[in-house]
Amino acid sequence: MGSKTPRSSENLTGTTLLGKYELGRRLGSGSFAKVHVARSIETGELVAVKIIDKKKTEEAGMGPRIIREIEAMRRLHHHPNVLKIHEVMATKTKIYLVVELATGGELFEKILRFGRLNEPAARRYFQQLASALTFCHRDGIAHRDVKPQNLLLDKQGNLKVSDFGLSALPEHRSSTGMLHTACGTPAYTAPEVIAQRGYDGAKADSWSCGVFLFVLLAGYVPFDDSNVVMMYRKIQRRDYKFPHWISKPARSIIYKLLDPNPETRMSIEAVTKTNWFKKSLKISEFQSSVFEIDDRLGKLSSESMTAFDLIALSSGLDLSGLFQRRRRKERRFTAKVSAEDVVEKAKKIGENLGFRVEEKREARAVGLEKGRTTMVVEAVEVVEGLVVGEVKVAEAAEEEKEEEESHWSELIVELEEIVLTWHYDDEVADESVENELA
């Protein structure tokens, strides 16, 4: 890191971490981790330190994600638009992830504060994201959770891609080169990802980039519905409208990125060749960041490598504090039968179990009511041959939790006959995500 930098005016607590960092104010906290600003005692450089509780993450049973996060960031260490990892340290009870301090916070917060961006500003962020993702894909890494909440800004306002906990590394692909895990945030996730029949991670990232560009220019997501099944139906139909202020070239790119068919969807590489993308872009700078970066992986110190080895030998470790799930009762599934047959099955189950049944034909849904509990089963054909259903408690009295649980269990057991795959909470990340590195 060279010569020492001047001591920052950042308020520090005087607490030292393993003799290497002086901790400062807390930037954020979650169920499994907390993040502090810190100063390197050796260089004076300000960094962010994520302090992860081993016991809590082990109990959460989400082991692969922290290893995946660290490994992806190490492999992408040299790209200027990827949040840099400095080192990883570990004790018996804690893991310390030391990363670049992004003082500009989340891009998401900027959008909330100022609303939609003008086209030149949106294009600049999109160019930097495309540069980072092109580099990721060249290295065989798919991010799989691209959204403004996972994109940070440095003090110069440059974009930094973070949160690689859901990323896929080359070794995660099947023999056909395809991925199979359903993950991501519903409003930003490509329709083929939920199918679990094999998908191209780079093309899935392309879809998310289309949503991202729409959000930058419009100030809201194109497919927005609190009902996930209805959202999938909108995605399938390309049911969204462009605000009048978005230019025709930008509309064309978004439309081609938001193609439900991954075979015909525009790739990020193809976007970089369009005139709209190239406008105001320093091509030499873009090419340098993508194609001429030193291929050597960023090497951590020998102490960090030892810590990483220790972490790799541990089980159940993850940056779980980034994900705070909703507690409402709901579960999604892929079905063996048509959407109509899912509804018919739910009706018969309800009748046999003594529920009052109310069918909603226009929405391919059925309501089931018994006592003070109301549940809903819905279904939609997302792509040809793929039916996604959702069962949820629409209403229940707070004091009747035991009744609710009983009715829920009855319904889930009976639905097993038509369910191909249940999508549990650890397979599909929720929209509610707290980014602690802001």
Poorest-pLDDT segment among 31-40, 158-167, 376-385: 376-385
- CATH class in words for 330-423: alpha beta
Is pLDDT larger for residue 8 or for residue 83? 83
Is pLDDT larger for residue 60 or for residue 72? 72
Give the pLDDT confidence score for residue 154 in this predicted structure: 93
What mean pLDDT is predicted for residues 406-420?
Answer: 86
- Res. 306: pLDDT tops 60: no
Contacts of 110 (CB under 8 A, 6+ apart): 104, 153
Is pLDDT larger for residue 161 or for residue 371? 161
User: Mean pLDDT for the chain?
Assistant: 79
Long-range contacts, stretch 301-305, CB < 8 angstroms, 24+ apart: 301/87, 303/87, 303/89, 304/87, 304/88, 304/89
In this structure, CATH architecture of domain 12-100? 2-Layer Sandwich (3.30)
Q: Among this protein's residues, is 145 annotated catalytic?
A: yes
Q: Which residues are annotated as a binding site?
A: 50
Poorest-pLDDT segment among 310-324, 344-358, 419-433: 310-324
H helix or E strand, kind and range, residue 374:
strand 373-383
CA 80 – CA 50 distance, rounded (Å): 21
Three-state DSSP class for residue 109? helix
CA 368 – CA 377 distance, rounded (Å): 8
What mean pLDDT is predicted for residues 60-79?
Answer: 79
Give the pLDDT confidence score for residue 432 in this predicted structure: 27
- Res. 81: pLDDT tops 70: yes
Poorest-pLDDT segment among 215-224, 378-387, 429-438: 429-438
Across the beta sheet with 373-383, the strand order is: 356-360, 365-370, 373-383, 386-396, 330-335, 419-423
Mean pLDDT comparison of 86-95, 195-204, 252-261, 347-356, highest-scoring range:
252-261
Catalytic annotation, pick one of 145, 205, 259, 318: 145
Give the pLDDT confidence score for residue 114 in this predicted structure: 86
For strands 12-17 and 159-161, give the pairing.
Answer: unpaired
Poorest-pLDDT segment among 8-17, 271-280, 296-305, 352-361: 296-305
- Res. 430: pLDDT tops 70: no
Give the pLDDT confidence score for residue 119 in this predicted structure: 95
Domain boundaries, the chain: 12-100, 105-300, 330-423
CA 98 – CA 36 distance, rounded (Å): 10
Is pLDDT larger for residue 399 or for residue 164? 164
Each residue's pLDDT tens digit, 324-345: 333 457 888 888 899 899 999 9
Give the pLDDT confidence score for residue 29 in this predicted structure: 78
CA 84 – CA 365 distance, rounded (Å): 47
Q: Which residues are annotated as a binding site for ATP?
A: 50
Q: For the domain bounded by 105-300, which CATH number is listed?
A: 1.10.510.10
Each residue's pLDDT tens digit, 107-140: 999 998 888 999 999 999 999 999 999 999 998 9
- Res. 18: pLDDT tops 60: yes
